[in-house]
A and B are shown apart, each in its own frame.
Chain A
């Protein structure tokens, strides 16, 4: 395998492109925002590994502070990679139903504190059967749907039923409740609107917690909130942890979260200038992604816009004369960074215009 792996100290200008870079100053700024906000709060960050897929970066947030010491993953295979990467407390936020995969979850729970998101009794019974047969104990966190219409229980009573059921089953331990909620596309995203919407969604999860506790079952974990509610959640009593992901690397779709800086960028080179105000770069949607047709954004060059994104090239257009010539480099910001990160095998970490580290994205492709 011949992966191009630049030497430490290589200047940005000498990197082969396209190249996905992470700006370490920006990354550390974002981690410090979380560390500072949650330092004296009972609410802590449980960073989502699905966005980053790289244990060393998750360890950096834990060392910076503000976390509960663990992380989330979206999938079982991601959790395995994270445990192998030294993470010891993991909440798997998607439902797992296949017996062979439940066995992997149970096996992991023997070497780390593993919690699995559950929303129906069939998989819960299967998890219990497999886990108890293996002599394992898997934490159960009930997912609450707060209007995404995806996984999660729809009614409070259903949460109480599943919590009681978990308490009666071997091989599993009821641990708490979780929810995830995107801010609807096109919704107002100013601070006041975020707080109103965020409180509403988070309260739906807390209502399930209250109903379960009213039945005498203790709820250790309320895991909810994400980047757009990172500052809402700590103001609501009862929220233990926030599942933030986007904030670490940032993406243009979360541009309104202006406490955070863009840490992940793609470096591209102009390969053609077919017109005086047009330049073609050497990266396309295969490496950048354009979910929902949303185009990347050129970073830091006023008057240059992305006109289109093809499979392997990007077309830029400028207001006046194109300031970029063939061979010149430019940086792009992603619309949605976690889908992009999943298409790359390494982060080239950069500070002051030079390579400081190269980190393999160990959980890339761990969709299962």
Chain B
């Protein structure tokens, strides 16, 4: 487990042990107010995707804000276990659950809170039904519809209808509606995903099947518009902390999460290295970006180190021991390598939050 030197509340953030994941609480509040405000007055509600921060304290701030369905989305049963233990009462698990052991665990959580799972086949629905019935719980079920370019889900409205009918016949399952996942970035795919879902919903409506939930995840277009008519909920998560790869889509949101790094060697005028590399930032979707230091850029990262290129005055003004801020590329992927978030207000440490669901891949 991560084991930083914990500093006293009130410590200026620049004095934290590095690498440190630091979150500006004011920016989180700003981002939540902006995003949730759009949904409070929009056609859809928001279901915060806590896979993007893995942190119960931030989930609580999101669920306290207006414009939500009152529950969260997670990717894994392990994450559902953590968030249910931390007081979340309505959880949608976005990934398909196909093995007995995983479904048994999901039913365990369902005995303590409302769990909704996603299915794409009648065979899977049968297995879910059998285990839920044996466990004496009820699982909510959304039928996944394949979005354009996607891999998983019912390939047509007819297949989705057949799947819904199969679920409706089964004990231990409560059919709740439809789900689709857009691919990131989803500027163009977004409206297609919405269209695909609405066609499936029409097929169910025409057959007299009640569809209380129509849910879309990872869709920047729908997120910015507060949803769309016919879509009941939009699943999104990166908005709370933000990251580099979402910057282009959400100009009203602030980078609330940054990595504080220290220069540990400055062997040549134009070269300096940080104590922060791939392990402490996660570069699967791209390198982090240097924040607020002119003439300083990050050119590469090895496992433990980050390589800076210095230009102009920065070659002389930056020294060994100086701190540099980095904005991660993919916030969920970055948070996942930390056990603690240092939450700060006005540049001073306020509280340390547990990243309680980090590493819960199964």
Contact = CB atoms under 8 A, between A and B. Distances in A.
Given A14-B101, A120-B266, A315-B151, A368 B18 contact: yes
Contacts of B129: none
Contacts of B123: 326
Nearest to B123: A326
B19 A367 contact: yes
A285 B1 CA distance: 20
B101 A122 contact: no
A80 B332 CA distance: 28
B243 interface: no
Contacts of A119: 265, 267
B254 interface: no
A199 interface: no
Contact of A365 (B98, B275, B337): B337
Contacts of A152: 265, 267
Given A150-B302, A151-B273, A291-B283, A313 B95 contact: yes
Contact of A94 (B78, B146, B275): B275
Given A274-B152, A291-B283, A18 B264 contact: no
A18 B273 CA distance: 34
The range of chain B's interface size is: 35 or more
B303 A50 contact: yes
Interface string A1-44: 11010000000001011110000000000000000000000000
Contact of A368 (B4, B99, B305, B332): B4
A261 to B, nearest CB: 22
Nearest to B264: A95
Interface string A226-268: 0000000000000000000000000000000000000000000
Contact of B96 (A4, A97, A272, A336): A272
A97 B321 contact: yes
B229 interface: no
Given A271-B96, A291-B283, A368-B4, A16 B102 contact: yes
A151 B278 CA distance: 16
B223 interface: no
A164 interface: no
Contacts of A285: 284-285, 333
A345 B19 CA distance: 19
B337 A149 contact: no
B305 A94 contact: yes
Interface in A286-328: 286-287, 289-291, 311-313, 315, 326-327
A351 B267 CA distance: 47
Interface stretch (A54-62, A98-106, A128-136, A170-178): A98-106
B98 A271 contact: yes
A278 B275 CA distance: 41
A311 B243 CA distance: 15
A332 interface: no
A345 B362 CA distance: 12
Chain B CB within 10 Å, residue with most, of A120, A282, A312, A313: A282
Interface in A39-82: 50, 74-75, 77, 80-81
A307 B280 CA distance: 27
Contacts of B5: 100-101, 104, 368
B97 to A, nearest CB: 8
Chain A CB within 10 Å, residue with most, of B51, B263, B284, B336: B284
Nearest to B286: A293
A74 B266 CA distance: 18
Contact of A291 (B96, B278, B359): B278
A75 B267 CA distance: 19
Interface string B121-135: 101100000000000
A363 to B, nearest CB: 8
Nearest to A285: B284
Interface of B: 1-5, 17-20, 51, 75-76, 78, 81-82, 85, 95-99, 101-102, 105, 120-121, 123-124, 146, 151-152, 155, 262-268, 271, 273, 275-280, 282-285, 302-305, 307, 319-321, 330, 332-333, 336-339, 356, 359, 361-362
13 contacts: A1-B82, A18-B362, A98-B17, A120-B265, A150-B305, A154-B268, A285-B284, A285-B285, A286-B284, A311-B51, A344-B359, A367-B279, A367-B337
Interface of A: 1-2, 4, 14, 16-19, 50, 74-75, 77, 80-81, 94-98, 100-101, 104, 119-120, 122-123, 145, 149-154, 269-272, 274, 278, 280, 282-283, 285-287, 289-291, 311-313, 315, 326-327, 336, 338-339, 342-345, 362, 364-368
Given A98-B17, A272-B96, A286-B332, 19 more contacts: A2-B81, A19-B362, A80-B3, A94-B305, A97-B320, A120-B266, A145-B267, A150-B305, A152-B265, A153-B267, A271-B98, A280-B151, A291-B283, A343-B337, A343-B359, A344-B361, A365-B339, A368-B5, A368-B18
